[in-house]
Homo-oligomer: A and B are copies of this chain.
Amino acid sequence: MGLVNMDSIEQNQDIGSPIRLYDMELSGNCYKIRLFCGLLNLKYQIIPVNLFKAEHKQPAFLQINPRGQIPVLDDNGRLIWDSAAILVYLARKYADEQWLPLAAESMAETMQWLAMAENELLYGLARARAAVLFNRPWNLAECQALGGAGLTVLEQQLQKHDWLAVGRATIADVACYPYVVLAPEGGVSLDGLPHVQAWIARIQALPGYVGMPGIQISTV
C-alpha cells in the first residue's frame, strides 16, 4: 500500500455504473463515500464538481443539492446529499447490518460518532485544513482547538476499543477517518495520539481500503 492507493480508487470506478458520485478529489467529505464504496466493493462513476470554480453554487447544481455542497449520490436517479446521509443510505441499501446495526443501542452508538464527524471533526479539523490549504476565512486557532478536542475524545475511546462503535468497523469509522487522517494538513498533529494512529492503521488494512491525496500517515 502506498501513500495514495490510486489503483484501488480507479478499480472502483465504472462509467457504466448506475451509481454516480458528484465529487472532488480533494474533498474529505467526498472521500468518505469513495472509501465506503471501496470497502463495499461497490462500483460507481464520478461526476467532477470543481469547488474552486464554484460549480457547486451554480443554479444547475443547486437543483441537485439545494445546500450547494458535495458529495451528492445519484443512485439510478435517486439523489441523496450529505456525506452522513449517503453513508447511511449505502449501508442500508448495499450491505447488511454489519456497517450500520439497527438495534436501538447499537445504532445510537454508531450515530454518536457520525455526530462527532459532523461537529468537532468537520468544524474543527476540516475547517482548519480548508483555512490552510484553500485559504478559507475561518479562524484557524479556533478550528484547531475544536478539532483537537475531538481528537482527545477519539484517543480516549480508541484506548479502550479497536473501533469507534459496537466492536467492529462501521460507518462511524468511515465517517471519522478522513478528516482525522488529513488533520496534519490543517496544522493539527497526530503525534501523541498512539491509539488514533493504531486505528488509522487498522482502517488502512481493511479489505477494499482506498486512499486519497494528502494522507501523510501510512503504515506501509
Q: Which residue of B is nearest A154, CB measured? A: B66
Interface size on A, as a range, is 35 or more
Contact A108 B80 (CB under 8 A): yes
Q: How far is the CB of A59 from chain B (nearest CB, A)?
A: 13
Contact A66 B156 (CB under 8 A): yes
Whether A70 sits at the interface, judged by CB under 8 Å, is no
Contact pattern, A 53-83, Cβ under 8 Å of B = 1, otherwise 0: 0000000000000110000000000101111
Q: How far is the CA of A81 from the CA of B82 in the complex (A)?
A: 22
Question: In chain A between 114 and 152, which residues have their CB closer than 8 angstroms to a CB of chain B?
Answer: 114-116, 118-120, 122-123, 139, 149, 152
Q: Which of B67, B86, B103, B157 contacts A116 (CB 8 A)?
A: B67
Contact B85 A105 (CB under 8 A): no
Q: At the interface, is chain A mostly helix, strand, loop or mixed?
A: helix
Whether A26 sits at the interface, judged by CB under 8 Å, is no
Contact status of A92 and B104, CB under 8 A, knowing A112-B85, A115-B82: yes
Contact B92 A102 (CB under 8 A): yes
Contact status of A81 and B112, CB under 8 A, knowing A102-B102, A104-B89, A107-B88: yes
Most B-side CB within 10 Å, residue of A83, A93, A118, A139: A118
Contact B115 A85 (CB under 8 A): yes
Q: How far is the CB of A72 from chain B (nearest CB, A)?
A: 11
Q: How far is the CA of A112 from the CA of B84 in the complex (A)?
A: 8
Q: Which residue of B is nearest A119, CB measured? A: B118
Most B-side CB within 10 Å, residue of A81, A111, A120: A111
Whether A153 sits at the interface, judged by CB under 8 Å, is yes
Seed contacts A85-B114, A92-B103, A92-B108; 5 additional CB < 8 Å A-B pairs: A67-B116, A67-B153, A86-B108, A88-B108, A93-B104
- 27 A-B residue pairings within 8 Å (CB atoms): A66-B152, A66-B156, A66-B157, A67-B116, A67-B120, A67-B149, A80-B108, A81-B112, A82-B115, A84-B115, A85-B108, A85-B111, A85-B112, A85-B114, A85-B115, A86-B108, A88-B107, A89-B104, A89-B105, A89-B107, A92-B107, A93-B105, A102-B102, A115-B118, A118-B119, A119-B122, A139-B139
